[in-house]
Amino acid sequence: GSAWIQFSVAYYIYALIFLAFDVDVLYLFPVALAYNKGFFIRDFIEIVIFIGILSLAIVYAWRKGVFTWQKRR
């Protein structure tokens, strides 16, 4: 058979979304390690805003129909 296979664009979109959120989660690790030194309400508010922005991105993508899988014809 042929070594070249055409993949649907949906695979690449899922990969890009995964990479974007995977990198964003990496930003939360230093914040979690910093909590050993003390817990301040300002830090908590910053984390809530960060996660809120991520949540808004997921909702936006969902409403745009990015997560709906279309069958190939």
Tens-place pLDDT, residues 35-46 = 766 667 777 888
Q: Are 31 and 47 in contact (CB under 8 A)?
A: yes
pTM above 0.85, yes or no: no
pLDDT value of position 37: 66
pLDDT value of position 63: 92
Question: For the chain, how many structural domains are there in total?
Answer: 1
Structure tokens of 61?
């993508």
Domain that holds residue 32: 9-63
Backbone angles phi, psi at 58, to 5 degrees: -65, -45
Helix or strand (DSSP H, E) at 24: helix 9-26
Q: Please classify residue 47 by burial: count the beta carbons closer than 10 Å to its beta carbon, then call 0-12 exposed, 13-18 middle and 19+ buried.
A: middle
Residue 37 lies in a domain: yes
Alpha-carbon span 47 to 28, nearest angstrom:
8
Residue 54: other Cβ atoms inside 10 A = 16
Residue 69 lies in a domain: no
Residue 33 lies in a domain: yes
